[in-house]
Amino acid sequence: MLLALRAPYALVPSLWTLLGFAIALADATGRASHAAIRAGISARRAGGVAKDPLRPGRMIEVAS
């Protein structure tokens, strides 16, 4: 009976952790795209136009 109660408390969080880890591995942002995102944020804060690193060819302008 105790095993039936303890198993879900151990297995369910473990499965959620594995799912989160799999999602993190599948994330498309690597070091290079992360640096490009940071550069775009800096350009936007300075009032300039930035390239969208996740959608090539798209420019992001400062909203007026």
One digit per residue, the tens of pLDDT, for the chain of length 64 reads 788 888 888 899 999 999 999 988 887 677 887 888 888 888 888 887 877 777 777 777 766 5
pLDDT of amino acid 16: 95
Q: Is-above-0.85 flag for pTM?
A: no
pLDDT of amino acid 20: 93
Structural domain for 27, as ranges: 2-60
Query: Cα–Cα distance between 33 and 29 in angstroms, integer?
Result: 6
pLDDT of amino acid 40: 83
Query: Cα–Cα distance between 37 and 26 in angstroms, integer?
Result: 18
Query: Cα–Cα distance between 44 and 8 in angstroms, integer?
Result: 48
**Tokens 């009976």 sit on residue:** 1
- Indicate the number of domains in the chain: 1
